[in-house]
Every structure is written in C-alpha cells, then in structure tokens.
Structure 1
C-alpha cells in the first residue's frame, strides 16, 4: 500500500495557553497541564503503573502522538517505579507529526527536561511508516507510526496491554473516533486489555461495547467531570493468526549461526530484549565472508509508487542511521545516488532522509562532473562492514564460538541443537537464528532453492584520480578510502565460484568508475581488490522469519504455522549494511512476540515462505 507524503502539523503557540492546532480548531491538551492530564486519564485510567509491575514486557498503544506528553508521562512513571516491568513498549500513530523545531518549542519548559531532550535527540525524519526509537538501552521503546492512523492501525502486528485513545475532539477529528478505527484498535486487544480516554462520546462508548469491551465512566480531569475507561472481555476469544504467533516466546537464550552483519545485528537486538546470545561461525573471526569487504554503502531508495522495496529500504536505512549514532562508529556521512531520469522538482526534500539535487549541485558535492541529478541521502554513507560487525557484537555482549562449523540441526522439546560433522553437540538453546550467508545454504533445506549465490569483485585504486567528496552510487559506486585512493565496483555473476581476482572484472569496475567521475578514459591500476559472494533472492529483498511447520501449506502467510524456536535471517545481497539493524530488530520481535517494527504488508514482503506461496498460487500449466 502506497503511503501518502506526510503533512507536518501546524502548531500555534501562546504564552498563556496550550499549543493550538488550527487545522482541527482544538488545543493539544487541557489547560491544567499535559502531564497532569496524561497521568490522570491515561495512566490512571489504565491502572498504571500497578498493572505493569512484575511483567517482562508491557505494551501501550496510543492513537495520536501529538506533542508526545503521554509518552513522556508514561516513560517517567516507568522510571519512577521500582517494581516496573522489564521492558516498556509504547506504540503510537500520528498523521501530522511535529517538525523538530516545533517539538523543541513545545517542550522548551518541560517539567521532564531530561526525557524531553532525549525524545528530541532521537526524533526521526518525517517519513511515512514505523520508526523504532530506543531509550534506556532498549528497555523503553517508542514505536512511532507516522501516517494515517486508519491505515497504520490495520497494518500493525502487536498485542496491546493498554490503549490510550487520544486525539482532538470527536466532533473536530471524527476519523480518530469512529467505528472503523475502533474496530482496528480492537484487533490488537487481548482479554484483559484496558482502554482509557478523556472523551465520553456516546457513539464511541457504544462501539467499544459492541466490540467486546466492558465500558464504564470514571471521574474526569480538570473541567471534565467524567472520562471513559474500558476493559476487553469478549464473549468469544478472537482467533489469532497462527503465522503471527511468537516463534520462541519467553526465550532467554539464543544461538545465532553466522558472525557477519546479520548475526551481529540479531545478537544486539536480542540482547536488548533480554536474551543471552551465543554466536557461532565456521570462520576464525567475525565478518570474514560477505561482510568482510573493506568498504560498503548504506542508503534508502526512492520510487514513485513508494512500494515495498522503497518502504523497506527507507525503514532499514533509518534504523541503520540510528544504530550508528548509538554506537558512535566512524563512517562517511552522506551519499549521492545518480538518477538519469530524475527531475529535482519531482520530490520535496525530507530533512534527515533525502533530497533531490540538480546535476550541478550533485557534481559540487562529489567533486566531479557527474552529469546527472542525484538523490542525496543525508543519513546514508559508507563504512567498513567488518568494523560495524565488531561494534554490534561488542555492544551485544554475545559469546563468540568461532572456527566452529555447524553440520546439522536437530529440533528438541526444549528448542534446537547444533551438531558438528562428527555428530558432537556444539550448542543448544530455545531459540536458533540462522543468519549466515552462502556457506549456510545446506542448513536451510528447501529454502535454499529460493536463493542465488552471486560472485562480486570490487577494485581498489591505491592512487585514484578522483576521490569522491561523498560516496557516489549509480552505475556502480565509488568510495574514497581516506588515503588518496578509492574503492569501486562491483561485478555480479550468478553461480560463479571463482575466488581469484580477474582482470576482466577489474576493467569493468574501472569503466564504471570512469563513467561516474566523468573521465574520458578509465584509469589503469594493478590488479587489486576483493572477491566475495552474496546470497540474493529473486525479488531483491531479504528472507526474515519462520519456516513452515507441517506439510500442508496455508493460503496466506499469516495463517501458516511455523516451526517453533527457529528464525531465518539471510539473503542480504549487497545491502547488508543497510538491512542489518532493522533485520535484527525484526528477528527479536518475531521470536519474542513484541510489536513488530514493520507493517504487516512488509512482513509478508520479507517472509521466507513468500516464494513457496507464490508457486502454490501459480496456475498449473
């Protein structure tokens, strides 16, 4: 589903009253104080903090993020509670998010200055879709859905423990209160889910009751004598999609096969979710296979339809941008992606994500007459994949077992066992993540048929006539090495197992480099570079998710039972740096059942079983 471009909120500030939204003719919160209202209506109305005490994870779902005061009040209550849940996940949707300057102004005199400053520091670029913001070393997570709540709520995959039904007045903003939206909300409720709102709108209360909520009135806040509370207690338990059930609920230990980018990112995300990880790899060190290239690019993509590829790559690139900032890993900032058919006026800039540059401006950034307009990805860039992998592993605290080849897997009542070639037990854990590259294909069974091993060769110019001011991609790519040289590439040959550097491939890479730089003749250089192998799916998206349980395939991915305790994270092609951070978060959510960091449509787009489903639906010839 294409996401419409975001329209940021228009906010009017005054010295003697709450911020005002002229588009809705309403204020953002009661005059008696946003935090006081949040604590009385939303926390008190949902029985918090008492209801989260002793829990491993507690999920709040909110309609209308607004200024973020409900989130800040909830985060503050969690911080102050010595019996708090281990992890708080706050999910909120917002159609008109604030620009960073307006958000800063709204919290200039915040009673919670430390928390407000953290929210401002992590505020994402205003792009449609889900944004995962980590606080408290991942123990507090804000999953912020930017876009039309009516669309996003139907695409969220989560079970909510508490619902904050917020938004402007039902008379002024009826779309956030009608039967359609409330039905979408109810799909995320489980027996015992509570709901609270300052409104006592009668149609809303009738709709909640019809959806299985027990609805009551409670003392209101400030000038409102009453408010609404509710508890989900349906007569019949709603059927849950079996394909969306957690793959390893309650797991506290995991073994990850693969010490490259994918495995390292999975280790970080799982460790932040409270899972102790062991990473196993056949090679003597991390990032020595596909993730061992000396330099690589990361960036999003743009297309007119804003289809699954663009949306997944955008979410992944922004996740990478966040993780790199958290790790403090040095890298080259900014990336130019040349587009021969691009007209700069076709897309307005999205600060912090992408902007269109004319050919002259792109050339000035690159330091060469590129000859084409380009997308400038401000948060993209280039880095050393091996350094990134090591930083992820170090931050995860994972135990490493290197130089250990896994020959077979065995499912057990308690999880999975890994065995070596002579049958010895290597590791066992309730959760197994297969996050390796082409060398891991024998462990994937029939899934390996949906992947292609692709050879790639990149070239190093020790003395480069052009060292791009920022990494440049288009027909090939070029990255300055910081020592007067450059990396350029890369070739792609399916099913080619030759490990030797080839002169023909070097000439191809140098020809691309010359075209990018606007050079009349490709430079000459001694044969130098690296050969690696990518694992690529036919649709150029990764494979992330569970494998089928049983022999009978389901007609929909969400209805397909999965093998318990097993998650696959592979097929990264040439986008390992861009995809790893988001993939790790997704693996953790799929395994443990926390709110998924992607919409349902994108979960299907990267599901490992998607190719089998397409073959099943294909008419017999």
Structure 2
C-alpha cells in the first residue's frame, strides 16, 4: 500500500450539522448530543450490548473516528454490562486525526471523563499506520488506522461483527463512495454481522444488498429521518484462504519453544487473547542467548518511498515505545527513552529535509539533525548528521523478556532441550533427544531463533546465522568516547551504563566460534572510533602499531558477549503459520502467500516467530501480536500487505538465495 501524508484535523466550535458536513475536510466538533446519538443509532442499531453476550471476542469497525464518541460509548457499554464479551476490539479509521491537545480540549467537559482521559493519554502520533491501543488490561483494544479509508479498508485483516458507518464516508465520490464502501464491508463481514448508519443513501443500501446484506430502515433516535440497518446473510460465504484469518475451535492452549524475547512476547500476546501458555527453554534461565545482552537499542526507520520495511519498523518502534513507557517508569525494565541518533553520511541536509517534508511524518517520530545539532545531542564529534528518533532508546533485553513473561502468566520450564516436534492425535508434541514428550498443546509456536530450523526441516530454510560479538570496557578508560544517547550507524554505542561502555557489534556469517575473540574487540574499537568521530581507532586508545601500543590495547579490561542473530534474506521476521510443503506441491492455486497451504486446522497448528535479526527489542511486542492474530483470529495489528511481508510462506513461493 502506498502511504500518503496525514493531514491533521482541526477542532472547531460550531454546530453538529456543520461537523457532519465538514468532517471530510478534517474538522471535528464536540457536541453534547453525540453520545446519545451513538447509543441510539450505532449501539442499539447493531443490537448491542445483547449481541456480544457470551462471546470470546466481539469486533466493531467504525469508518470514521472523529472525537472517538462511538468508541467511548461502546467502551462504556462494555464496562457496564455484567454479561459482556471477554474482549472488545474497536477498529476505526480516521483520515484527519486531531492532535492530542485538541482532543483533550474537545473532551474537557466529557460526560465520560475517566474514559476520555484514558483515550487522550493513549493517543498516538499521526503516522500512516495502524495503532493498537490497549485498555482494561488488554480486554478492550482500539485498533486505530490513520489515512484514507478507501485504502485502509482494503488493508484490514479482520472478521467484523458490527459496523458503524460514518455518514460522511458514504457521501464520497462514486469511485470511493457508498457502493465501494459496501463491497469492502462485505469482505470483512461474517454471517450475522450487522450494519448501522445514519445515511439513507439509495446507492449505499443497494450496495449493501448486492454484498449479501438484508437491508432495512428504522426511525432515527430523534425521529427526524430514517436510518439504515443491515444484517449479513449471504447465499454463499467464501472460505478464508489458508493464510487468511483463522477460526480456532479447540482449547486455547499453546506450547512455546524458546524463552528469549520472541518466546516471552509470544506468550504475552497470546495471554492477551485468553490463551494459556507453557514456555520451554533449553538454557537454565530465560533470555540466556542473544536476548541476554546487558543492553540494546531500538528505533524506527525512514526511507524516501516509505516502503514495507520503513512502515513495519515504524509500527514496531512506536508500539514498543507505548508499551515500555510505564514499565520503564516503574522500574520493571531498566533503560531510557531519550532518543537515538542514526548517522547518515550519504545525505546532505537539504536532501534529508526534502525527504522528510514529502512524507510529513511527525517530528516526534523522526527528524533530521545536521552535523552540528547531532554533535550537540550526543556529545560526540560525529562525522555527519543523521536521523533523530526522539521516542527511541535503550533497555535491558532480559528485563524486557522477564516482564513480558510475568505479564503472560505462562508456565516456564528451563533446562528442557527439544530435539523433535510432531503431531499426534490432534496435539502438537515436543520431544527430547530420548524421544520423551516434554510438552504438548493444540498450538505449537517455534520462537527459538535458529534452532527452529532443525525442528521442521525445509520450511525455515530462509533463516541463517550471523555471529555478533559485543564489546564492553569500563567507562573510565582514557580516550573512550561517552555518548549522551545511543548512536547507531556502522555499529552502535550506548551511553555509560553502570560504569561501563557497550559498543559493537561484529557481523559474521558462517561463523560458529563461541569464545570471545581479541580480534573482534579490536574491530569493534575501530568501528567505535569511526562512528563517534574520535579518531582512527588506534591513536588515543592504546591501539597503535608499535609494540607498546599493541600491549596497551590488549591489556585493557575487556568483556563482552557472543550471540547469533537469526536473519532472513530480506531482513524481516518470519511470523505466521508454517507452510505445508507437501500440500503445496498439489495446490491448484498458490501464487500468493495467502493461498499457500498451512500446517494447521480448526483444532490447532504450527507457527513460527523468528528471524528478528538485530531488531529483537523493537519487534518483540508487535511481532507477537501479529502472531497472536494468526493463532486466535483476532484482527491483525498491521495492514494486509505488511502481514504478507512477514508471512513465512513468502519463501515457499520465492526460495531464499
């Protein structure tokens, strides 16, 4: 999907009628009658709250968000209903989102002050993404999409139970208006889904009927005109493709192999969908492999065309930032979110600023710092300017993994080495080297990085190992540069942490050396000098060519860590249901990842969450929620084309090189 800059909305003080007429131009107006209208038209018109009683999950889609009145009305009704569904997911699209300050002013006199305040506090930056916001401990989720609804509706991966159709959206031009909206609603509907809208457009009504809805009219809440109601009752309902949203009919139990960031996050995201998880780890403690580094950085990405990599890394970084803010504040995770600078020597100031201006991304997400400003921000004599990610930072991965696992309530078993997996009697089993069953569940998630390759054979041939050695020295070693915030580029440097500097890291393929190497420490030191502008890595650091300098360099009190990153050729993770390669050979249609047969059915399945590479911190939370969507059938927190970009089936159709 090609993204476009977001044009912010404006808060105005005029009538409700003007609000409805001008919403399409980005004006949002508070009104005292809006909440009553929402309850009478959208909630009652969709048979709520009665229709969500006893449900595991109920999904609402609103084609306009505005001030969030419909969301607040739905959330309020859910809170007050003792028979409510387990989880309420409210999906909404807004082309002209307000800024947080305007949203706060609009809700200053809210009749639902607590809910309004929580919405304002969670309000995301206006980037062209889906933004997953959690409330009520994750039992209420707002999946908020900023951008053109005619584009985003085609990119949603969701099964929707009730639709709130914004009247302004139905008044668009013919090519994107009522008829097109009706078709997209039909694509997302499930049998029994309902629609309510204040529009009485004949084109909309006919479009809904053509899409398989039974359409009726009802008086509006104030009796001034009729509203449109509809129920999805198609003669034929196409089955979802193998890689589409999946309905799990078995018990909600999963076995996760691996207790690094990926495995702990997988358990956390599945628990948010009501699943019980057991996590098996071969090492004696969680996060003992690459996730056990003392600290690591995370940040987003920017490129001029805003392609899939930039969009995915942006969504992952913003999601991670939202999750981490309270955990860092209360001390559960050690780290800081004071920004990260990524050097970019290939661009001049004018080029970089022109690229930013074309996309109009919020400066709170990414900005360009010329060399002088970059030096001031970092305290280093940097060789160039770079991209400034103001909400990014560093943290201790082990703390993060432990916090995710604790929040999941999962049962962790360490010291358990899995040698083989198989399916017996509809249940996936993990077996040790002696063939003993060490764990079983209807759903099995391989989150054990490179080891996943040995458990399932050719399906994960895209994964490869990259060895990385991280170096550390006492911060008081003479000549070492001290950064005020993390700096990345050709390597990275963190600010002093507990009296030590962490920097690196090497990147070596086809290298299985476990021990720390003096040559790699030297390489990291050279890299550090180039990155920080502190010299050539020899002068001033005890690393000269004469024997005395060489002895000084070798005698430094080095420490560090070796780990292996699981990477893919396109540097994006593998997240989703594993392919059935045998069935693929006989498939009549497999020209797209969504049509590739999978190793799953209604009672369970085999999934993978691996290939996070050097971005494990950034990818853990969002990637796990994408995985949980695959497993549970919950709405996907990324757009369809981005989900496809993460799908392991992409390599079944395009073998890795």
Fold similarity call, TM over 0.5: yes
Question: In the alignment, what sits opposite 1:499?
Answer: 514
Question: In the alignment, what sits opposite 2:389?
Answer: 377
* Deviations 1:152-203 (CA, angstroms, capped at 9, x unpaired): 1111111100001014274477776422222112100111110000111111
Question: In the alignment, what sits opposite 1:73?
Answer: 73
- CA-atom RMSD in angstroms: 2.1
SS in 2 for 1:196: strand
1:557 pairs, out of 593, 618, 636, with: 593
* Deviations 1:110-132 (CA, angstroms, capped at 9, x unpaired): 11111111111111111112111
- Measure how far apart 1:469 and its partner are: 0.7
- Aligned equivalents of 2:104 and 2:19: distance in 1? 12
1:510 matched to 2:510? The reply is no
- For the 8 Å contact 2:278–2:413, the answer to whether it is kept is yes
Shift of the 140–68 alpha-carbon distance from structure 1 to 2, 3 Å rule, reads: same
Question: In the alignment, what sits opposite 1:572?
Answer: 612
- Aligned equivalents of 1:25 and 1:453: distance in 2? 50
- Measure how far apart 1:521 and its partner are: 3.9
* Deviations 1:404-448 (CA, angstroms, capped at 9, x unpaired): 111111112332111111111111111111001223331131134
- 1:187-226 aligned within 5 A: 187-222=187-222, 224-226=224-226
SS in 2 for 1:243: coil
Question: In the alignment, what sits opposite 1:331?
Answer: 335
2:398 pairs, out of 386, 411, 418, with: 386
Question: In the alignment, what sits opposite 2:487?
Answer: 472
Shift of the 169–182 alpha-carbon distance from structure 1 to 2, 3 Å rule, reads: closer
For structure 2, which runs of at least 5 residues remain unmatched after alignment? 543-555
- Aligned equivalents of 2:193 and 2:231: distance in 1? 6
1:458 matched to 2:470? The reply is yes
Shift of the 603–169 alpha-carbon distance from structure 1 to 2, 3 Å rule, reads: closer
- Aligned equivalents of 2:308 and 2:155: distance in 1? 13
- For the 8 Å contact 2:172–2:178, the answer to whether it is kept is no
SS in 2 for 1:379: coil
- 1:298-337 aligned within 5 A: 298-328=298-328, 329-333=333-337, 334-337=339-342
Question: In the alignment, what sits opposite 2:578?
Answer: 547
Q: Which moved more, 1:578-587 or 1:483-492?
A: 483-492
- For the 8 Å contact 2:258–2:280, the answer to whether it is kept is yes
SS in 1 for 2:494: strand
- Aligned equivalents of 1:604 and 1:538: distance in 2? 15
- Aligned equivalents of 2:205 and 2:93: distance in 1? 21
- For the 8 Å contact 2:321–2:391, the answer to whether it is kept is yes
- 1:76-115 aligned within 5 A: 76-115=76-115
- Measure how far apart 1:27 and its partner are: 7.0
Question: In the alignment, what sits opposite 1:280?
Answer: 280
- Measure how far apart 1:482 and its partner are: 2.5
- Aligned equivalents of 2:247 and 2:160: distance in 1? 18
- Measure how far apart 1:487 and its partner are: 0.8
- Aligned equivalents of 1:162 and 1:199: distance in 2? 16
* Deviations 1:443-465 (CA, angstroms, capped at 9, x unpaired): 13113421111110111121353
Q: Which moved more, 1:20-29 or 1:105-114?
A: 20-29
Q: Which moved more, 1:204-213 or 1:460-469?
A: 460-469
TM-score by length of 2: 0.90
Shift of the 81–20 alpha-carbon distance from structure 1 to 2, 3 Å rule, reads: same
Shift of the 75–512 alpha-carbon distance from structure 1 to 2, 3 Å rule, reads: same
- For the 8 Å contact 2:334–2:396, the answer to whether it is kept is no
- For the 8 Å contact 2:129–2:145, the answer to whether it is kept is yes
1:341 matched to 2:346? The reply is yes
TM-score by length of 1: 0.95
Q: Which moved more, 1:236-245 or 1:257-266?
A: 236-245
SS in 1 for 2:613: coil
- Measure how far apart 1:16 and its partner are: 9.8
2:377 pairs, out of 346, 351, 365, with: 365
Shift of the 248–410 alpha-carbon distance from structure 1 to 2, 3 Å rule, reads: farther
Question: In the alignment, what sits opposite 1:441?
Answer: 453
Shift of the 567–515 alpha-carbon distance from structure 1 to 2, 3 Å rule, reads: same
- 1:56-71 aligned within 5 A: 56-71=56-71
- For the 8 Å contact 2:12–2:27, the answer to whether it is kept is no
- Measure how far apart 1:310 and its partner are: 0.6
- Measure how far apart 1:23 and its partner are: 6.8
For structure 1, which runs of at least 5 residues remain unmatched after alignment? none
Shift of the 38–484 alpha-carbon distance from structure 1 to 2, 3 Å rule, reads: same
